[in-house]
């Protein structure tokens, strides 16, 4: 058995001790590095695997064509938008993901971004850390508000969206939400008002994207939707997937004042050029490196489950896979 880890160049040397603990000692372990300047090597290193474990390195159709012996692509994440999963099915390769492992961490991160931007933390950090200035008089010009009594609009009321709703209510916020794929009872359980997307965007002080990315919601937050936010000038948060947002439209909305600020744990690219990123070094933006999921506990669970998923499937126990996105044998 050969298990290959698909990685970006930046993560090639990450610690995989947890995964190795669960991989059988007689298994061969390899790496395939997704380097856009050397994709032939990437495809070659994937070619003789029985299973691929990937966090965010893309597994597209060309890669799959080279994976002649592969039985399963095990995704170390809750989303699998970077895997050509239907094409994999056509080639007899299963795809698994991790159903849940970091809900609390991502919800906490969402609230952290909201509070930091509402209290203008980037401005305060610059004044104290860089300029060595200790004063509050300038805050009068910034329009700082508390979150108590404000409205949080959640787009996508899945596990993470529900956890965000519960946390926001603890701060005294009104929570409204839009998700056409969950029953009304889910809204009621967390005390969120079910509203149209138009109402949400026009009436929220904070808009939080908590959707799963799929073919139907790429660039979901486009110029038209940011225009709808212009009346309230909300804080916009994205801790789900960068592909859900038209980045140029978001940049235009920031520059024109249609949104007050943006808290971003994700960008369209999973390997962005930060020197060219227009959201870096802005006091109306906080950008984190797709790290909302991270805690010592969550990362251990993620790494363990991804290996278990691959081994369960290879050993003929698909019913034990945490989340089997598709099973070509079913």
Q: Are residues 33 and 145 in the same domain?
A: no
What pLDDT score does 56 carry?
A: 87
Q: Is 290 a catalytic residue?
A: yes
- What residues form DSSP beta bridges with 174? 151
> Where residue 146 sits, what CATH number does that domain have?
3.40.50.720
Q: How many CB atoms lie within 10 A of CB 220?
A: 19
Say if residue 79's pLDDT is above 90.
no
Reading the block at residue 29, the tokens are: 């372990």
Q: How confident is the model at residue 215 (pLDDT cuts 50, 70, 90)?
A: confident
Q: In this structure, are 205 and 139 located in the same domain?
A: yes
Identify whether residues 97 and 107 lie together within a single domain: no
pLDDT digits (tens, 9 = 90+) for 144-169: 999 999 999 999 999 999 999 999 99
Task: Supply 35's token pair.
Answer: 């380097």
Same domain, 299 and 204: no
Closest CA to 52 of 79, 37, 22, 32: 32
Per-residue pLDDT, averaged over 299-317, amounts to 96
Overall average pLDDT of the 291-300 stretch: 94
Percent over 90 (pLDDT), the chain: 92
Residue 78 has pLDDT above 90, yes or no: no
**Is 213 found in the same domain as 66?**
no
pLDDT at residue 283 tops 90? yes
Out of 118, 167, 241, 247, the active site residue is 241
Q: Which of 7, 244, 247, 270 is catalytic?
A: 270
pLDDT tens digit string along 17-40?
999 999 999 999 999 999 999 999
CB atoms within 10 A of CB 184: 8
Active site residue 304: no
Q: What is the pLDDT of residues 112-132, one digit of tens each?
A: 999 999 999 999 999 999 999
As given in the structure block, the two tokens for residue 238 are 């994205």
Residue 175 and residue 169 in contact, taking contact as beta carbons nearer than 8 Å: yes
The tokens describing 64, both together, are: 């799959």
Verify that 96 and 114 share a domain, yes or no: no
Residue 99 has pLDDT above 90, yes or no: no
Residue 58 has pLDDT above 90, yes or no: yes
Of 215, 278, 275, 288, whose CA–CA distance to 250 is shortest? Answer: 278
Q: Which domain holds residue 36?
A: 2-101+295-326
Distances (CA, A) of 278 to 90, 102, 292, 297: 39, 28, 21, 33
Same-domain pairing of 254 and 129: yes
Tell which wins on pLDDT, 12 or 63. 63
pLDDT in tens, 166-202: 999 999 999 999 999 999 999 999 999 999 999 999 9
Based on the domain organization, do 306 and 164 belong to the same domain? no
* 3-state secondary structure string across the chain: CEEEEEECHHHCCCCCHHHHHHCCCCCEEEEEECCCCCHHHHHHHHCCCCEEEECCCCECHHHHHHCCCCCEEEECCCCCCCECHHHHHHCCCEEEECCCCCHHHHHHHHHHHHHHHHCCHHHHHHHHHHCCCCCCHHHHHCCCCCCCCCEEEEECCCHHHHHHHHHHHHCCCEEEEECCCCCHHHHHHCCCEECCHHHHHHHCCEEEECCCCCCCCCCCECHHHHHHHCCCCCEEEECCCHHHECHHHHHHHHHHCCCCEEEECCCCCCCCCCCCCCCCCCCCEEECCCCCCCCHHHHHHHHHHHHHHHHHHHCCCHHHCCEEEECCCC
Nearest residue to 199 (alpha-carbon basis) of 227, 180, 216, 176: 176
The owner of tokens 């995704």 is: 75
Residues 82 and 116 in one domain: no
**What are the tens digits of pLDDT across the range 237-277?**
999 999 999 999 999 999 999 999 999 999 999 889 999 99
The pLDDT, as a whole number, for residue 100 is: 86
Mean pLDDT for the stretch of residues 311-324: 96
Looking at the predicted structure, is the pLDDT value of residue 103 above 90?
A: yes
Same structural domain for residues 86 and 178? no
Is residue 62 domain-shared with residue 123, that is, in the same domain? no
Any bridge partners for residue 74, and if so which?
53, 96
pLDDT at position 214 over 90: no
Catalytic residue among 118, 120, 167, 290: 290
Q: Tokens 């073919």, residue?
A: 215
Is 241 an annotated catalytic residue? yes
d(CA 178, CA 161): 10
* d(C-alpha 86, C-alpha 235), whole Å: 36
Same domain assignment for residues 12 and 146: no
* Mean pLDDT, the chain, integer: 96
Q: Based on the structure, what is the number of domains in the chain?
A: 2
Termini Cα distance of the chain: 23
């Amino acid at each position: 058995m050969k298990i290959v880890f698909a990685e970006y160049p930046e993560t090639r040397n990450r610690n995989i001790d947890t995964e190795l603990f669960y991989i059988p000692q007689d298994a061969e372990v390899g790496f395939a590095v997704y380097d856009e300047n050397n994709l032939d090597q990437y495809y070659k290193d994937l070619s003789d695997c029985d299973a691929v474990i990937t966090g965010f390195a893309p597994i597209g159709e060309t890669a799959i064509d080279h994976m002649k012996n592969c039985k399963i692509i095990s995704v170390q994440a809750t989303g699998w938008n970077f895997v050509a999963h239907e094409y994999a099915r056509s080639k007899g390769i299963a795809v698994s993901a991790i159903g849940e492992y970091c809900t609390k961490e991502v919800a906490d991160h969402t609230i952290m971004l909201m509070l930091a931007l509402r209290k203008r933390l980037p401005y305060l950090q610059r004044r104290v850390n860089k300029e060595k200035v200790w004063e509050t008089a300038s805050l009068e010009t910034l329009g700082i508000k508390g979150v108590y009594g404000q409205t949080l609009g959640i787009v996508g009321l899945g596990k993470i969206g529900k956890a965000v709703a519960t946390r926001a209510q603890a701060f005294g916020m009104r929570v409204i939400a839009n998700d056409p794929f969950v029953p009304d009872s889910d809204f009621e359980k967390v005390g969120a008002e079910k509203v149209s997307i138009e109402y949400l965007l026009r009436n929220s002080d904070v808009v939080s994207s908590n959707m799963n990315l799929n073919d139907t919601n790429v660039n979901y937050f486009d110029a038209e939707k940011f225009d709808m936010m212009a009346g309230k000038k909300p804080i916009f948060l994205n801790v789900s997937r960068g592909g859900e947002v038209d980045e140029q439209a978001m940049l235009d909305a920031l520059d024109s004042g249609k949104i007050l600020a943006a808290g971003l744990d994700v960008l369209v690219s999973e390997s962005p050029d930060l020197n060219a990123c227009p959201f870096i070094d802005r006091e109306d933006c906080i950008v984190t490196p797709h790290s909302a999921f991270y805690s010592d506990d969550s990362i251990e669970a993620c790494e363990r489950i991804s290996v278990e998923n691959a081994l369960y499937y290879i050993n003929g126990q698909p019913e034990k896979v945490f989340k089997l996105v598709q099973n070509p044998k079913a």
